[in-house]
């Protein structure tokens, strides 16, 4: 894997290769009408979505390069058959994942002991105890729980109790009347029936069990909050003393069951959606016992279906990947297994990955880019005329103390206690889920480790963590597939990396949700109230812009649910551009492949969102994701950037034109 360009100087294109930006543009489309189509049109025409993919773009191309390297690491580890250490974990996991003879012979056998335990439940107490055990194995029945830093005390770890327990992607699928969602809901009972049939039920019994599951999930969905409502950090922070949870759920003895979940060393928990837990209490108390057991059995098998024999894998694929996401055929087993391996022991692979493919020199280059963008943001904040001096001073302080993590962790997780062998694949996956569960629960009562990473170095993604006030930039994110760092000019790099990643993640610290956390990562009202009012008024302009966008059928983008990401996109573009203007590449103004530095900056940003997706995925994203579709992450923010008009001569009457009075004036 190659990193991008140095933050200083202007790299030259290799004469033997096409310019990566010019090669993708479609000059039959005007950048003034549809910049996304202009920037990617030729690439899209030449790169149809492979049958085993549901989206295809630069992320998949990066992952393809990574996959070849990671598969080589796996195959070498299998051959070495090490008895201990990271190579043993990798080699034995890969052996079990590829051992299709035993996987097909075993069928559902790896799950049989747990299914028998569920079938043997006699009392509500036993049922709740068994449901807690399922949680430790990665099966989130009835609710969702996790350990994270306390939003109001970032130095302490807390246990969060959230809504969950659904088989469809989210609550909207149970009630949304748009034809795509309605079709999925209509076919869900058939999938449920099919899975119960594979578990051994006759058709009539399977149909009855399917109806039980759908009825319980519909009740859970009714009590679940909508996507946009989950973005309010105050409304979703409700701290309860464990001994007082009885007032919320009289029928569930949480002190007992939280102990079974491993919740120790704390006397309180944070309940995200109290009304949801009241519904859970009622469901557990009043629903037929056999129906509750059906619900639990289905969720267990559904969670592990992809690690069982082919009938389970095929059924799960047909519903979730083919129907909901539009895939035409299954991915090859190595591709699927690698995705699972990345989830369970990705950091083990990451240690080998960065050793071979990411240098200290590259790490230093991108650390410097972060500082250049940070300084550009500081200068922009200092000039804001709508923010009061008090809020501005604290905002700048928060920005300047924001931690940057670039490339890979300084300290790796210790997986020595994880048992992986060459036995059943599903058993290895379950032990991996249990390891992660215990790893998380063991944080309770201990000091927060602010050095920890929540992504592997080989992940093509990045994140901002408000509780740590940090941005995390994995090594793989700094990759343009097929090009070495010296082949990419600064204009491209500042658009592709400084804007769409570094500036984007930094801006998350000041978006509609992140801005409510202070410089230490605590949820607190540190803004002057008039500044909050002004921020919301200006941000609402972006909400209204995106609310009007209709990517497919009659389904609009949810401007409120996607506000945080849309703000981060716009902020990243503005800040990255300010940083780019300080470079020699910008000041010299030399064209590359016929494009000015400013034009290449915007094309470089668009390169980060080079993506096509199946209609089913697009419709699913609009209902479940806080990110706008890729096209709108380009065409949406650009009309709010003055330099975009200059770079491409955008005029009134052009589709990418917005009158200044309709633009967002925030950062």
Q: Are residues 168 and 288 in the same domain?
A: yes
CATH of the domain at 122: 1.10.1380.10
The answer to the question of residue 29 being in a domain is no
**How far is the first Cα of the chain from the last one, in angstroms, to the nearest whole number?**
35
Q: Are residues 391 and 484 in the same domain?
A: yes
Given 280, 307, 334, which residue is the final one in a domain?
A: 307
Other residues' Cβ atoms within 10 Å of the Cβ of residue 478: 29
Q: Using alpha carbons only, give the angle 314, 315, 318 rounded to the nearest 5 degrees.
A: 80
Q: Are residues 586 and 468 in the same domain?
A: yes
Name the pLDDT band for 4 (thresholds 50, 70, 90): very low
Over the stretch 206-233, which tens digit does the pLDDT of each residue have?
Answer: 999 999 999 999 999 999 999 999 999 9
The answer to the question of residue 279 being in a domain is yes
Phi, psi of 195 (to 5 degrees): -65, -40
The average pLDDT across 562-587 equals 97
The average pLDDT across 508-526 equals 97
Is the pLDDT score of 202 beyond 70? yes
Q: 176: Cβ–Cβ under 8 A, 6 or more apart, which residues?
A: 182, 623
The answer to the question of residue 562 being in a domain is yes
CA distance 228 to 296: 28
Other residues' Cβ atoms within 10 Å of the Cβ of residue 512: 22
Q: 84: Cβ–Cβ under 8 A, 6 or more apart, which residues?
A: none
Instruction: Share the mean pLDDT of the chain.
Output: 95
CA distance 382 to 667: 10
Most confident of the ranges 146-150, 457-461, 477-481: 146-150
The answer to the question of residue 180 being in a domain is yes
Q: Are residues 459 and 561 in the same domain?
A: yes
The answer to the question of residue 21 being in a domain is no
Over the stretch 71-111, which tens digit does the pLDDT of each residue have?
Answer: 998 999 999 999 999 999 999 999 999 999 999 999 999 99
The average pLDDT across 511-534 equals 97
The answer to the question of residue 63 being in a domain is yes
User: Can you give the pLDDT at residue 354?
Assistant: 84
DSSP 487: G
User: Can you give the pLDDT at residue 16?
Assistant: 63
Where in the sequence is the domain holding 580, given as residue range(s)? Answer: 35-68+379-406+447-662
Q: Are residues 224 and 123 in the same domain?
A: yes
Closest among 509, 504, 533 to 521, alpha carbons compared? 509
Closest among 251, 313, 240 to 284, alpha carbons compared? 251
Q: Are residues 392 and 269 in the same domain?
A: no
The answer to the question of residue 427 being in a domain is no
Given 244, 277, 307, which residue is the final one in a domain?
A: 307
CB contact at 8 A, 459 and 62:
no
CA distance 359 to 523: 37
CATH of the domain at 481: 3.40.390.10
Q: Are residues 276 and 392 in the same domain?
A: no
Counts for the chain of helices (H) and strands (E), in that order:
26, 9
Is the pLDDT score of 342 beyond 70? yes
| Total domains, the chain | 2
CA distances from 550 to 65, 545, 561, 562 (A): 34, 11, 15, 14
Q: Are residues 56 and 200 in the same domain?
A: no
| Greatest C-alpha distance within the chain | 77
CA distance 65 to 655: 37
Q: Using alpha carbons only, give the angle 586, 591, 597 rounded to the nearest 5 degrees.
A: 30
Over the stretch 246-284, which tens digit does the pLDDT of each residue have?
Answer: 999 999 999 999 999 999 999 999 999 999 999 999 999
In this prediction, what percent of the chain has a pLDDT beyond 90?
91
The answer to the question of residue 240 being in a domain is yes
Q: Virtual CA dihedral for 418, 421, 424, 427, nearest 10 degrees?
A: -10
Q: Are residues 454 and 508 in the same domain?
A: yes
Q: 586: Cβ–Cβ under 8 A, 6 or more apart, which residues?
A: 490, 491, 580, 597, 598
Place of tokens 């605590």: 522
Given 307, 330, 364, which residue is the final one in a domain?
A: 307
| Burial degree of 323 (CB within 10 A; 0-12, 13-18, 19+) | middle
Name the pLDDT band for 364 (thresholds 50, 70, 90): confident
- Strand, helix or coil at 158? strand
CA distance 298 to 289: 14
Q: Are residues 575 and 650 in the same domain?
A: yes
The average pLDDT across 236-253 equals 96
CA distance 236 to 72: 44
Q: Are residues 390 and 537 in the same domain?
A: yes
Residue 613 tokens read as 């997706």
Other residues' Cβ atoms within 10 Å of the Cβ of residue 106: 20
Reported residue count of the chain is 667
Which of 2-11, 517-526, 594-603 has the least mean pLDDT?
2-11
User: Can you give the pLDDT at residue 5?
Assistant: 27
For the entire predicted model, the pTM comes to: 0.93
CB contact at 8 A, 9 and 369:
no
Q: 418: Cβ–Cβ under 8 A, 6 or more apart, which residues?
A: 89, 345, 431, 432, 435
Q: Are residues 123 and 205 in the same domain?
A: yes
Name the pLDDT band for 352 (thresholds 50, 70, 90): confident
- Strand, helix or coil at 168? coil
Closest among 458, 467, 461 to 403, alpha carbons compared? 467
């Amino acid at each position: 894997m190659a990193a991008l360009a140095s933050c200083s100087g202007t790299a030259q294109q290799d004469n033997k290769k096409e310019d990566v930006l010019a090669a993708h543009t479609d000059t039959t489309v005007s950048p003034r009408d549809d910049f996304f189509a202009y920037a990617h049109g030729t690439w899209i025409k030449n790169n149809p979505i492979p049958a085993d993919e549901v989206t295809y773009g630069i992320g998949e191309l990066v992952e393809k390069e990574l996959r070849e390297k990671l598969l080589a690491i796996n195959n070498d580890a299998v051959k070495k058959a090490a008895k201990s250490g990271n190579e043993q974990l990798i080699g034995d996991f890969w052996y079990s994942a590829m051992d299709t003879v035993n996987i097909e012979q075993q069928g559902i056998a790896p799950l049989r002991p747990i299914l028998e335990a569920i079938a043997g439940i006699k009392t509500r107490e036993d049922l709740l105890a068994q449901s807690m055990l399922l949680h430790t194995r990665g099966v989130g029945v009835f609710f969702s729980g996790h350990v994270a830093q306390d939003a109001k005390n970032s130095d302490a770890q807390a246990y969060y109790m959230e809504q969950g327990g659904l088989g469809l992607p989210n609550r909207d699928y149970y009630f949304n009347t748009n034809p795509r969602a309605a079709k999925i809901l209509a076919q869900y009972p058939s999938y449920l029936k099919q899975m119960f049939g594979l578990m051994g039920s006759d058709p009539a019994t399977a149909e009855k069990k399917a109806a039980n599951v759908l009825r319980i999930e519909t009740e859970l969905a009714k009590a679940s909050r909508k996507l946009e409502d989950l973005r309010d950090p105050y409304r979703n922070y409700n701290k309860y003393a464990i001994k007082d949870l009885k007032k919320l759920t009289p029928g569930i003895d949480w002190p007992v069951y939280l102990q079974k979940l491993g919740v120790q060393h704390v006397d309180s928990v944070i309940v995200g959606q109290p009304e949801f837990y009241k519904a859970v209490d009622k469901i557990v108390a009043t629903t037929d016992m056999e129906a509750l057991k059906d619900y639990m059995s289905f969720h267990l098998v559904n969670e592990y279906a992809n690690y069982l024999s082919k009938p389970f894998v095929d059924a799960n694929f047909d519903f979730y990947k083919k129907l909901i996401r539009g895939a035409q055929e299954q991915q090859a087993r190595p591709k699927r297994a690698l995705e699972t391996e990345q989830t369970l022991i990705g950091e083990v692979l990451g240690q080998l990955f960065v050793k071979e493919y990411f240098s200290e020199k590259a790490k230093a280059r991108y650390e410097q880019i972060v500082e250049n963008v940070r300084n550009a943001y500081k200068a922009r904040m200092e000039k804001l005329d709508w923010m009061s001096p008090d809020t501005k001073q604290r905002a700048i302080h928060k920005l300047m103390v924001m931690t940057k993590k670039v490339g890979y962790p300084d300290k790796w997780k210790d997986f020595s206690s994880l048992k992986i062998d060459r036995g059943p694949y599903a058993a290895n996956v379950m032990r991996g889920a249990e390891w992660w569960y215990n790893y998380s629960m063991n944080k309770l009562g201990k000091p927060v480790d602010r050095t920890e990473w929540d992504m592997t170095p080989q992940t093509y993604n990045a994140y901002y963590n408000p509780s740590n006030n940090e941005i995390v930039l994995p090594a793989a994110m700094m990759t343009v597939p097929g090009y070495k760092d010296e082949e990419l000019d600064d204009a491209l790099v500042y658009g592709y990396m400084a804007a769409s990643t570094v500036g984007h993640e930094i801006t998350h610290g000041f978006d509609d949700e992140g801005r409510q956390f202070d410089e230490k990562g605590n949820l607190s009202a540190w803004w002057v109230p008039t500044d909050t009012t002004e921020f919301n008024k200006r941000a609402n302009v972006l909400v209204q812009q995106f609310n009007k966008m209709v990517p497919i059928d009659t389904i609009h983008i949810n401007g409120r649910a996607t506000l945080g990401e849309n703000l981060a996109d716009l902020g990243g573009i503005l800040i990255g551009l300010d940083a780019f203007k300080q470079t020699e590449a910008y000041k010299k103004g030399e064209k590359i492949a016929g494009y000015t530095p400013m034009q290449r900056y915007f094309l470089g940003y668009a390169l980060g969102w080079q993506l096509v997706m199946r209609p089913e995925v697009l419709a699913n994203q609009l209902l479940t994701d806080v990110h706008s579709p890729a096209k709108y992450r380009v065409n949406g923010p650009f009309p709010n950037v003055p330099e975009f008009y200059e770079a491409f001569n955008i005029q009134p009457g052009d589709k990418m034109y917005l009158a200044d009075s309709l633009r967002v004036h925030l950062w």
